[in-house]
Structure 1
Amino acid sequence: MQYVLDLASDEERASWEHLKLGYTETRGSEPLREAIQQHYQTINLDEIIVSSPGEANFILMNVLLSKGDEVICMAPMYQSLYQVAKDLDCSLSFWKPEEESGNWTYQPSDLKKLITDKTKLIVVNFPHNPTGFCPNIDDYMEIISIARAHGITIFSDEMYRFLSHGNKETLPSMCDVYENSVSLWGAAKTFGLAGLRLGWLTSKNKSLLQKVENFKDYLSICNSATSEILATIGLNNMEHFVQPNLKKITSNINLFSEFHEKHQSFFDFSKPSYGSTAFIKLHIPETTYEFAEKLVKETGIMLLPAETFEYGTSHARIGFGRENFPEVLRIFEDYLVKNYKY
Structure 2
Amino acid sequence: MTITPMPEFRLETYLSRWEFAAEHHLTASDAETLTVAELLGLGTEDDRRAFMEQPLGYIETWGTGRLREAVAATYETCGPQDVLAFTGAEEAIFWVMGVLAGPGDHVIVTVPNYQSMETVPLTSGAEVTGVPLDPADGWRLDVEAVRAAIRPSTKVVAVNFPNNPTGAVPDHQTWRALVELCEERGVRLVSDEVYRGLESDRERMLPQAADLSPTAVSINVMSKSYGMPGLRVGWVASHDHALLETLERHKHYTSICGAVPSEFLAAVALGAGERIQARNRKIIAGNLPVFAGFFASHEDLFEWSPPEGGCVAFPRYLGTDGVEAFCRDLVETAGVVLLPASIYASTLAAVPADRFRIGVGRRDPGPALAAFDRFLTGRRRT
Q: TM-score interval w.r.t. the shorter chain?
A: over 0.9
Q: Trace 1:83-98 onto structure 2 (pairs within 5 A).
A: 83-98=119-134
Tell me the residue number matched to 1:298.
Answer: 333
Question: Residue 90 of structure 2 aligns to which amino acid in structure 1?
Answer: G
Q: Trace 1:1-342 onto structure 2 (pairs within 5 A).
A: 1-52=36-87, 53-100=89-136, 103-310=138-345, 311-340=351-380
Quick one: distance in 2 between partners of 1:157 and 1:340? 41
Quick one: distance in 2 between partners of 1:31 and 1:90? 37
Quick one: distance in 2 between partners of 1:232 and 1:208? 24
C-alpha deviation, 1:66, in angstroms? 0.9
Question: Residue 210 of structure 2 aligns to which amino acid in structure 1?
Answer: C
Q: Mean alpha-carbon deviation: is it higher for 124-133 or for 164-173?
A: 164-173
Contact 1:268 1:280 in 2 (8 A): yes
Structure 2 unaligned segments of length 5 or more: list them: 1-35, 346-350
Quick one: distance in 2 between partners of 1:131 and 1:220? 31
C-alpha deviation, 1:325, in angstroms? 1.4
Question: Residue 375 of structure 2 aligns to which amino acid in structure 1?
Answer: Y
The size of the alignment, in residue pairs, is 340
Contact 2:159 2:192 in 1 (8 A): yes
C-alpha deviation, 1:155, in angstroms? 0.7
Tell me the residue number matched to 2:7.
Answer: none
Quick one: distance in 2 between partners of 1:295 and 1:312? 20
C-alpha deviation, 1:116, in angstroms? 1.4
SS of 2:102's partner is coil
Question: Residue 96 of structure 1 aligns to which amino acid in structure 2?
Answer: P
C-alpha deviation, 1:166, in angstroms? 3.5
Identity of aligned residues (%): 31
Contact 1:252 1:326 in 2 (8 A): no
Quick one: distance in 2 between partners of 1:92 and 1:314? 25
C-alpha deviation, 1:312, in angstroms? 4.3
Quick one: distance in 2 between partners of 1:270 and 1:59? 34
C-alpha deviation, 1:83, in angstroms? 1.4
Residue-by-residue CA offset, 1:217-243 (whole Å, 9 max, x unaligned): 111110000001110110001133112
Q: Mean alpha-carbon deviation: is it higher for 152-161 or for 235-244?
A: 235-244
Quick one: distance in 2 between partners of 1:312 and 1:173? 29
C-alpha deviation, 1:340, in angstroms? 4.2
C-alpha deviation, 1:209, in angstroms? 0.3
Question: Residue 30 of structure 1 aligns to which amino acid in structure 2?
Answer: G
Contact 1:248 1:321 in 2 (8 A): yes
Question: Residue 318 of structure 1 aligns to which amino acid in structure 2?
Answer: I
Q: Mean alpha-carbon deviation: is it higher for 250-259 or for 42-51?
A: 250-259
Quick one: distance in 2 between partners of 1:110 and 1:266? 33
**So what's the TM-score if we normalise by structure 1?**
0.96
C-alpha deviation, 1:115, in angstroms? 1.3
SS of 1:155's partner is strand
SS of 1:73's partner is strand
SS of 1:32's partner is helix
Quick one: distance in 2 between partners of 1:167 and 1:54? 26
Structure 1 unaligned segments of length 5 or more: list them: none
Question: Residue 326 of structure 1 aligns to which amino acid in structure 2?
Answer: G
Contact 2:59 2:257 in 1 (8 A): yes
Residue-by-residue CA offset, 1:34-74 (whole Å, 9 max, x unaligned): 11111101102111000121111111122211123211111
Question: Residue 374 of structure 2 aligns to which amino acid in structure 1?
Answer: D
Residue-by-residue CA offset, 1:221-270 (whole Å, 9 max, x unaligned): 10000001110110001133112211112222221111122222212122
Change (3 A) 1:155 1:340: farther
**So what's the TM-score if we normalise by structure 2?**
0.86
Quick one: distance in 2 between partners of 1:280 and 1:91? 31
C-alpha deviation, 1:327, in angstroms? 1.2
